[in-house]
Every structure is written in C-alpha cells, then in structure tokens.
Chain A
Amino acid sequence: MQFMLLFSRQGKLRLQKWYVPLSDKEKKKITRELVQTVLARKPKMCSFLEWRDLKIVYKRYASLYFCCAIEDQDNELITLEIIHRYVELLDKYFGSVCELDIIFNFEKAYFILDEFLLGGEAQETSKKNVLKAIEQADLLQEVRRLCFLKAFRGQKHFAVQVS
C-alpha cells in the first residue's frame, strides 16, 4: 500500500499516512486530486478506480471516506478488508466510533493504524492482538478520555458490521 487517506464528505482531510517518501507539495496535490475524484463518484459505483499508475480502493463509512492507494498487482478485495478491519479496530477502541472521535483524538487513530499496518503491509491480522498492544501502550501513558466528547455523541456512528 502506498498511502491511506481519511477524509470527510466535505473534503476535509482527517488522517493521512504515507508509506512512500513524497514531498509535501506532491502529497498535497495528490490529496486534493483524489479527494475530488472520489467525492465526485456516485454512491452506487464500485469502490475501485484506476488513477495514474495506481489502483485506488475506497469505502465510505457514515460521513468518512477511507481511501487507499495500492499497486497494480495488489489485491483490491484484501485492501477493502484492511479498511474494514481498521474501522472495526477504531470502533472497538472508541466504542461506536464517529468522525469526531478521530478529529479530537487523531493521534490515537494514528497509533491504532501503526499497530495494524507497518510500512504499508498488514503486520497483525488478529484484532485482539492489535487492541491489546494499544491498551498496554496506553497504560504507560495515563489514558485521558475526554468527557466533553460525550457531548458530541449524538452524531451518527459508523455503520460497522462486526463480523
């Protein structure tokens, strides 16, 4: 995987993880271009598109788009599975995750992603192990779950089907 982007329906970037070295300028350009392309697609369209020499796999969960760029020989379906797995992990960690959780705790979202993927490859296929690692790391750092977040909890949660 070359990079993963999370952005809202309004096109606001919520999380970015680059597994290939690119300059900031290029990253911005790619992000802008991809956000536009993906948002322009109709809801009933399939989750794949060819873009430059890469394949883009994206999926929308509630108001957030998860978007990954993979190489030509990579498997699109397993990438979708990775996205889904990541959403499940976020869901487990935050408890019915919503977009605001990721906005306000964006560093946590990164930590979870880093425990799940490393250098663009899935490093741990067991959900339990990933969460265990995160929880233990959090123990080292006193957990500061923020009460005010509850105020926003009226928001729509991701439609996650935990299989």
Chain B
Amino acid sequence: MALKIVKGSIDRMFDKNLQDLVRGIRNHKEDEAKYISTCIDEIKQELKQDNIAVKANAVCKLTYLQMLGYDVSWAAFNIVEVMSSSKFTYKRIGYLAASQCFHEGTDVIMLTTNQIRKDLSSPHQYDTGVALTGLSCFVTPDLARDLANDIMTLMSHTKPYIRKKAVLIMYKVFLKYPESLRPAFPRLKEKLEDPDPGVQSAAVNVICELARRNPKNYLSLAPLFFKLMTSSTNNWVLIKIIKLFGALTPLEPRLGKKLIEPLTNLIHSTSAMSLLYECVNTVIAVLISLSSGMPNHSASIQLCVQKLRILIEDSDQNLKYLGLLAMSKILKTHPKSVQSHKDLILQCLDDKDESIRLRALDLLYGMVSKKNLMEIVKKLMLHVDKAEGTTYRDELLTKIIDICSQSNYQYITNFEWYISILVELTRLEGTRHGHLIASQMLDVAIRVKAIRGFAVAQMATLLDNAHLLTGNTQRNGICEVLYAAAWICGEFSEHLEDPMQTLEAMLRPKVATLPGHIQAVYVQNAAKLFATVLRKHEGETDSHAAQETSQLLIDRLPLFVQSANLEVQERASCILQLVKYIQKLQQKKVEVAEEVTALFAGELNPVAPKAQKKVPVPEGLDLDAWINKPPSESESEDEKPKAVFAKEEPKHSRSRHTEVDEKELARRREARKREQANNPFYIKASPSSQKVYDAPGVEHIPVVQIDLSVPLKVPGMPMSDQYLKLEEERRQKEKAERKKEKKKKREKRGKERKADSGPESEEDIAPAHQVDIVTEEMPEVSSCYFGVIKPTVHWFPVQKSSKHKKKKQKKEKEEKEKKKKKRHHHHHHHSNAGGEDSVQNGTVEEEEPLPPMSNYFLLAENSYIKMVYDIQGNHQDESKVVVSVIFENKSDSFLKSMEFNVLDSLNSKLQRPEGAGAHDSLTVPFQLPPGISNEAHFVFSVQSIVMPQKLKGTLTFIVKSDESSTHEKLDFKLHFTCTSYLITTPCYLYDAYAKLLESGDLKGSSLRLEGINMPFHHLLARICFHHHFSVVERIDSCASMYSRSIQGHHVCLLVKTTVSIDAKCDEPSLLGNVLDEIKQTFSKC
C-alpha cells in the first residue's frame, strides 16, 4: 500500500503519462491535431529533463503518436538515451520505440552498436532478449557486420530463451550481411538437433527460409530433415520442413519419390487443416516437377483431389477458397482429375463470396466441353447481369471470351450463339474490354464464313444503336466494338439487308465524337457500302436512289475532312473527291458501279491449314536459298551491291544451301509455323490457290445447316438463350439421324457396334459452324501476309539464330565481329528513318558514312525477353509522350499474356484505358513466338518536363514451352530524359532564329565536351539524332541548332568545332538537364 502511494506521487510528477495522452486524444475528437501538437510540445519539454523516467515516459508517448502517423524522427537520439538506461523498465520502452521508429536511414543507429553489444552480453536474460527483439526490427548492414559474432555466440547460450531468439535473428543478419552465413552455418545446423524444441523449431524456420532463396546449398541437409519430418509431432515445424522439401525437390527428383509416401501418410492421418493443406500443396508441386516416371502417381493425385474436394465442400469459406486455389494448380497438369469434380466447381460459381467465385472462374477454363459450353456461359451471363463491382464483371467478361475462344474455338458448335453472346456483352456499361470483344467479332466474322450473314445483320443493328453504346462518356472502352462492327459491315456488305440504312448510320454527325481510329474505319467502310449500294441500284431505270447516296456522302463527309485525326482526314478527303467525281459521272448517266466495286475487290478468305503444302514449288525456285545476302555478311556489299547480286548470287546460294543441315531447317520451319499460328489473319495470297483451298482441307468437315424455327434476323438485339434450346433440338435430331444410320449399318454388318443409348461423347457433337484454320498446324512456307487488321502491329523478325549456324565454319573472331555489326544493323532498321531525317534537315554534307545509331535504349533484359525503348513527344499534345517498346523474345519458348505496368509518379502517369484502375497493368497487344520481336506503344502523360525522371515498372508474362508454362516477371526503370521531351523541329529561317536569340527571353548556359575525337558532322548528327535537334545553319567552324519541347520551350545551341556548346533556353533547368544528357551521350562514345 505504501509503495502504491509513493508510485502514485511519482506518476503525478509526470505531466501526462501514456494513458492520459490516449484519453486526451479520445476526448478531443474535434481538434485532435491541435491537441496533439500541444502534447508534442510538452513531450519536447519532458525530453529536455535529466530524469530518465520522464524521458522514457515521453518516448513511450511518442511511440504511440508515431503509430497515429506523426513524424517522430526528431526524437531518435532521445530514444537511444532511453535504450541505454540501466533499468529494464526504461530499456524495454527504449527498444520498443527504436523498433517502431528506426529504419535503415536513421543515422543515430550508428551510435547504438556498443550499447546493443553490452545488452547482448548482459547477465540478465531479459535485457539480452529485449535487445535481440529490437535488433530484429532495425538491423542494418553495419550493425549486422559488427554484431554477427556476438549473436553467433548467443546461439550457444545456456538459456534456450536466448538461443531461440539468437537463432531466429541470425536470419535477418544473413540477409543484411551475407558473409556471416558461412561461419555461422555449422552452428545453425547443430541447432537442428537442439534439446529444446523451441530452438529446434527456430533453426528449422531459418534454414527453411534460407533454402527458399537458394535451395541448392541445402540439398545435403535433406536426410536430416527427412528424419525430423518422420519424428516430429509439432505441426508448426512439420509445415516448415514440408515447405523446405517443396523447394528442394525440383533440384533432386529422387527426393520427390521418397517424399510421396510420408506425405500421403500425413495427409491420411492429420487432423490439422493447415498441415493437410501444406502436404497437398507440396505433393502437387512434387508431382508437377516429377511429371514422369512415377509409379503410383495417379493415386496420389486422386488423393489430393479427394482431400481438396472435402475442403471445397466445407462450410468454412477459407477452406473453400484454398481448396479451389490448390485445384487450379492440379488443373494445369492433370485436367482430367479435376474435371470429374465439375459439379462442385460450378456450384462455387453461385457462392456469395466474390473471391471464391473468382477462384472458381479460374478453374472453369478446364471444365468446358462442347456439350456444356452454352450452359456454363449462360450461367456466367446471368452473373454478369447481377454483378455489382466492375472488376468482377470485367473478370467475368474476359473469362467468357477466354473459355469460348480457347484452342481455336474448339468447344463452340454454334457461332450464331457466340456472336449473340458478344453482342450481349457490348451492353455492359463501363467495361474496359471493348477491344477484346471487338477482336473476337472480327476474328469470328473473318474465319467462319457461314456466319457472315448473321454477323453482318447483328453489326448493322449495333451501328444503328451506336448511341446506346457510347452514351455520354465518349471515351468509353466499349466503343471499340464499333470499330469491328463498321469493318464487318463494310467488308461483307453484300450480306446487308439494307446497306443504305447502315451507310446513313455510319455517317451520323455523332460519329465524329468517336476516337480517331474508329472514325477512320467508319469512313473507309462507308465507301465500301457506297460501292455496294451503287451496284444494287445498277441497271435500275431510275437512278435516283444511287444519286441520293452520292449526295448523302457528299453532304456528310466534309465533317470528317475537318477531323483533327490525320488518318480520318486523309481518308475522308480522298473518298469525298472520289464520290464527287462519281456524282458527275452519274449525272451523265454513266454506269460506275463496277469500277467503284473494283476498288474494294478481292475477297478475304480464310485458308485451310495445309493449303500451302498443296502448292507445287515452281521449278527452279529454291526456297532455302538466300534471295539477298544477309546484310552484315560482307563489307564489300555496300560498295558494289549490284555486282554482288548479279554475279555472285548463284554461287552464294548454292554453297550456303549445303551448309544448312536438316535439323536447322526443321527448327526454322517450326519457328515459322509458330509465328503463323499466332497470326489469326494468315491468309492465302492469291486466287490461284482457291482451288486448293476448296479441295481437301475443309471439305471433309460436315457443315450442318441448322434448321431454325425462329427467324434468323431477330429484330433488335439478339437473345443468346434461344440457341441453347436450338442446340439441344439439333443434337437430338442429329442423334436420331445417327441412330438411324447406325441401325442401317448394323443391319448390314450385323455385329460390330453396340447400341448408342448412353450420353453422347465429345466427338459425337458435330459443330453447326466450322472455324476455318482449326488446327494449330499451319502451312509450311509463307508466301505473303495480308488482311492484317490492326495497323499498329508490325513484325520485326530478328534473324538471329537462323544465321548463326551458317557461320559455324568461319573463324570465331570473325563471327563475333559480324554479330556486332548485325546488331547495329538491326537497330538501324528501326531507327534509320529518324536518323536520316535529322541529318537531312541540317546541312551536313556527305563527308564520311555515319556510324549506325540507334535511339532505342535497353530497358531491361533477362533470359527470356529483351526490351528496348524510345520516347517521343509531339507538338499536338503538350502533356503526352509516347514510349515505344520493342519486345524481343530471346528464348525458345512462346511468350504470352505480357502485362506492362508502371508505378506512376505525381508527374508522369501511364495512360490507362477508361475505367481501368490507377495501378492496373496494360496488356501488350500481341504474343511473341521464339525469336520474334514486336513493338508496342504506351502513352504517358507528363506535367513538368524540366526534370528527368525515372519510373519503375514491371513486365509480367507467361513463358509457354511444350512441357510447361511459367509466370515470369521483369522489373525495369523507364528513364524519361529531358531529351525525350524535345521534338525535332526544323527552323528554316535563320532570321527568326536570330530574333529569338536576341529577344532576351532566353537564358544561357554552356558546356565543354572533353576528349571528343570524331568528325564535326558526326558530332552534329549525333546531337540531332539522340537529342532531337535540327541544324539551323552551319558555318565552317560552328553550327546553330534548334529544338523545341513538347510544351513549347525553345532550346538553341551553338556548337563549335572546339567542341564547346553554348546553349540558350527559356527554361534554365530544362536546359541544364539537356546539356547534362548531351554530355553523357558523348562520354559514352
């Protein structure tokens, strides 16, 4: 009692203890910030006092305020003071405050080393314990280095309490100071057999974490862990050991075989769900890594699937979620085993928990068949209608399209149904997957000939109701489907019921609010429709209708001629003139339809997979011979290309041909096939192969005409549901027919077949429509591509590996040189346009050939992919730059699902489609077969351009090889230099330039380049090329250069042959940075 009174008076001595502070904050809800700032003032006063108790109290309060988000870094030194108190009560508070507030950047940490060392060796175990705990939070590389030995000694402390903590903290020390691992490891290993279970478990923990980072160093411990696994009963330890084995098995398959038995035993026996889940996961991982040579392989999978089913059936949402998650891992390698639980997974689609539904969606991909596709999609469509969040709805949408389009529309039997689904999906508001829907529409309409009539009718309705899609927000993602709709209606306009009406719909003034690329397609296809209308009315005595159409176009097109979009403007003005001319002819009663139609003649036909094989190779054509010498092969080529081509070519081709061995040929063929398979628009080149196409490839597939009881052209929007019914009827009918047929056969042959009364098998379902190019196999030799619909995609075949082998016989050194040159050349290929331009608009004479230059810089690279990038701005938009990234697949595998993401800064932001979240990644719009590179463009918005900036980003992609597919990630840093904000702007008038310089608005700066020994014109060309300048005037020893930023800053340079640069700009910091960058460019040479 007496003690309590004394203590009470001490308490009162403090102005406010932690509890008072907390209570105070709770009582000042209205003016919390003000209250806290007075508290902080008090705390500052308390910290000035000598009494350690007062200080500790103040630090304790600060720790609380730190959690509330207040900056307390100013008190770091006071925290150290409290830490070094000899009283445990205060020491504990000091260490707690340090562990909450200190981080690697806190400079006073340096002062703590000796104090911590003292505490570590304290005779009181709780002093040591508190120091270890604190250290685990704020250990820095310096502390780790200085204290590693002390902690290592503690690993053999007499008290298990300390040993356990010391072992665990060693892991943090290893991370900060890896050199300590080697000396400490033997002792760590010893601890695996420590008599105290807590220490043992700590050692297992640490080794498991280490092994996850670098498994191969820990293989030797496998037998020891095996013993521990079979003897331990502690679930926490078991889970860690099993996880460790999961990391080791990919390196040592024999281990996997040995593991299966004890793991399955555990699965059978354990009642702890966490352990069961860990075992199942590891078994799956082991089986995936073994993949072959397992005797009772399927039994283990069955066991896992069974156990997972129990998890999924459980009423606990958590178990359900994890069960589905693990199922999806099995689905990748053993789809059959999962498929048998289809009922359960479909059931999960109705779960009230969205995260569970999403997991179930992931699994659906492997669940569909021809038989149940319509049903499953119908269910998903219901969910789409009900879905609340846009994220979930978008996820559903992509899943529906994924499921339907997988393996070349393998499971779709009725494409009318699919088109209807796509049209129904366009009704979703605010989705950002318009583009996806559009590409599906195009793909189906082009490849499934039989569907075109129906598709065109649907698309015409869409165009007619375009206002429903675009709504108020004109940049709505869904309007992308109009791109597809317009193209389909135009291209296949012969199927249109009323082309005139569609034409009218496509030329409505509202169209001008659509994005430019869509308008361009509208204009172009309006012309196609015009041709169709003319042809329709040809021969009619009354030419009124045809003339009316011309007038419509002449009335409406001027709107597009005024468009700000270059493409739209160009097409519109071209077509407008054409129509005007046609109108003149019409007035003279000249028949023009045929000529106009000829403009768009040529049918876009799909091609049978093996069509090209049937084309005989013309005599004398050697497909494997080089047409042209590979450019980097010889230096003499540049000097006398004609001679080389004419005289040496035959010799070259022959000798090379023999160099290419069969293997190489097969490999190349394979690469080509993959590339073509990836291009859905790979289509035959000339009508001459028509015959071939008609002959065997497609003909043997039964194309069943559907007998529809409902009229095909449903007024308004279609209803996909009707197809479900129709499909069933159709199947019934077919089945009946087949039965009849079989009966006949049976009558004829008597025995052979059993009665077909059971449910029909997958193969029995004949599709109503057939996709052309059904198989992945593609023609062997490509003669030409056409029908590429997306204009932004270019292919840059990188002829790397194919050329390598041919040089085998040559000396290695030579080869290296050539490779180097080739790389130059390759880059040049992308960039020469810009390079030449900038040189031309200066007055640089052709003195010496310029070395090749590239403005593509390496962005990031790993063993799979290489990315190079370039940043360009334009004057139209002062806040946007376009980053062009070339992705090059370096591996032998197929790369797909590439997602590009950047962590936005306040200043620079990646432009994402409407509706996308601020952190969503952008899908790269192509896939990469091995050895192929392709370019994608990303738009960034920038605010201030005077400073360079770096943005961190990540590319994720799936590497798909024959056996497996893995998910990979590549981090990169996008460097927005100030140069990238400059645009080459020719300044032809020296007078204007001089006036600008004299105006006095510009501030000056200068730069000297040291150690440059290159011709002056090279120097100028480099500045032009790399820094987007143009030469205004060049007089003997100096040149004036000019450039403009996207925000209109003028940058002027005076470059002298003495390699000094005088510069002027209206924005000094921009200029400073540009000069720095110029300096950097030349320091690299």
Contact = CB atoms under 8 A, between A and B. Distances in A.
A22 B243 CA distance: 27
Given A49-B355, A106-B64, A125-B234, A77 B318 contact: yes
Interface in B151-179: 161, 164-165, 168-169, 171-172
A127 interface: no
Nearest to A74: B243
Interface stretch (B85-93, B113-121, B588-596): B85-93
A144 B3 CA distance: 12
B132 interface: yes
A16 B69 contact: no
Contact of B133 (A77, A118, A141): A118
A24 B124 CA distance: 33
A13 interface: yes
Interface in A7-64: 13-16, 18-19, 21-24, 28, 42, 44-49
Given A13-B68, A48-B322, A118-B136, A140 B89 contact: yes
Interface stretch (A86-94, A129-137, A153-161): A129-137
A82 B967 CA distance: 30
B320 interface: yes
A142 B93 CA distance: 14
Contacts of A133: 126, 129, 161
B205 to A, nearest CB: 5
A72 to B, nearest CB: 10
Given A75-B239, A107-B96, A19 B137 contact: yes
Contacts of A107: 18, 60, 63, 93, 96
Contacts of A24: 71, 73, 103
B7 interface: yes
A157 B206 CA distance: 36
A123 B168 contact: yes
Interface in A102-117: 103-104, 106-107, 110-111, 114-115
A77 B273 contact: yes
A123 B198 contact: yes
Interface in B68-111: 68-69, 71, 73, 88-89, 92-93, 96, 99-100, 103-105
Contacts of A48: 318, 321-322, 355
A46 B353 contact: yes
Interface string B1-34: 0010001000000000011001000000000000
A46 B320 contact: yes
Nearest to A23: B103
Given A45-B317, A45-B354, A106-B64, A119 B88 contact: no
B212 interface: yes
B531 to A, nearest CB: 53
B19 A123 contact: no
Given A45-B317, A45-B354, A119-B168, A81 B274 contact: yes
Given A16-B67, A119-B169, A124-B198, A136 B126 contact: yes
Interface residues of A, number: 51
A48 B354 CA distance: 11
Nearest to B71: A24
Interface string B165-198: 1001101100000000000000000000000011
A24 B353 CA distance: 34
B361 interface: no
A148 B20 CA distance: 11
A121 B126 contact: no
A121 B318 contact: no
A18 B137 contact: yes
Contact of A21 (B103, B243, B273, B274): B103
Contacts of B209: 121
Contact of A141 (B3, B64, B88): B88
Contacts of B988: none
A46 B356 contact: yes
Nearest to A71: B212
Nearest to A55: B325
A121 B171 contact: yes
Given A45-B353, A111-B96, A121-B168, A76 B63 contact: no
B278 A75 contact: yes
Contacts of A19: 136-137
B544 interface: no
B165 to A, nearest CB: 6
Given A118-B169, A141-B89, A125 B198 contact: yes
A114 B96 CA distance: 9
A45 B19 contact: no
B277 interface: yes
B506 interface: no
Given A13-B68, A47-B318, A48-B318, A75 B165 contact: no
A76 B326 CA distance: 12
Interface string B337-370: 0000000000000001111100000000000000
B236 A77 contact: no
A5 B201 CA distance: 25
B202 interface: yes
Contacts of B133: 114-115, 118
Contacts of A21: 103-104, 138
B103 A119 contact: no
A75 B317 CA distance: 16
A76 B322 contact: yes
B242 to A, nearest CB: 9
Given A24-B103, A48-B321, A140-B88, A121 B205 contact: yes
Contacts of B273: 77
B7 A144 contact: yes
B14 to A, nearest CB: 12
A137 B126 contact: yes
A103 to B, nearest CB: 6
A162 interface: no
Nearest to A133: B161
Nearest to A113: B133
A47 B322 CA distance: 10
Contact of A146 (B19, B63, B124): B19
A133 B284 CA distance: 40
B198 A13 contact: no
Nearest to B205: A121
A123 B67 contact: no
B92 A103 contact: no
Nearest to A48: B321
A133 B132 CA distance: 14
A104 B23 CA distance: 8
A141 B96 CA distance: 15
Given A103-B22, A114-B133, A140-B88, A73 B202 contact: no
A153 to B, nearest CB: 15
Contacts of A148: 19
Given A106-B67, A107-B18, A44 B353 contact: yes
Contacts of A73: 212, 243, 246-247
Given A119-B169, A121-B202, A148-B19, 12 more contacts: A16-B67, A44-B353, A46-B320, A48-B318, A110-B100, A111-B92, A114-B99, A118-B132, A119-B136, A122-B201, A129-B198, A133-B129
15 contacts: A15-B67, A18-B137, A19-B136, A19-B137, A24-B71, A24-B73, A45-B353, A46-B320, A77-B274, A77-B322, A78-B278, A119-B168, A123-B164, A140-B88, A141-B89
Interface of A: 13-16, 18-19, 21-24, 28, 42, 44-49, 73, 75-78, 80-81, 103-104, 106-107, 110-111, 114-115, 118-119, 121-126, 129, 133, 136-137, 140-142, 144, 146, 148
Interface of B: 3, 7, 18-19, 22, 60, 63-64, 67-69, 71, 73, 88-89, 92-93, 96, 99-100, 103-105, 124, 126, 129-130, 132-133, 136-138, 161, 164-165, 168-169, 171-172, 197-198, 201-202, 205-206, 209, 212, 234, 236, 239, 243, 246-247, 273-274, 277-278, 317-318, 320-322, 352-356
Closest 5 CB pairs of A and B: A77-B274, A141-B89, A46-B317, A119-B136, A46-B321
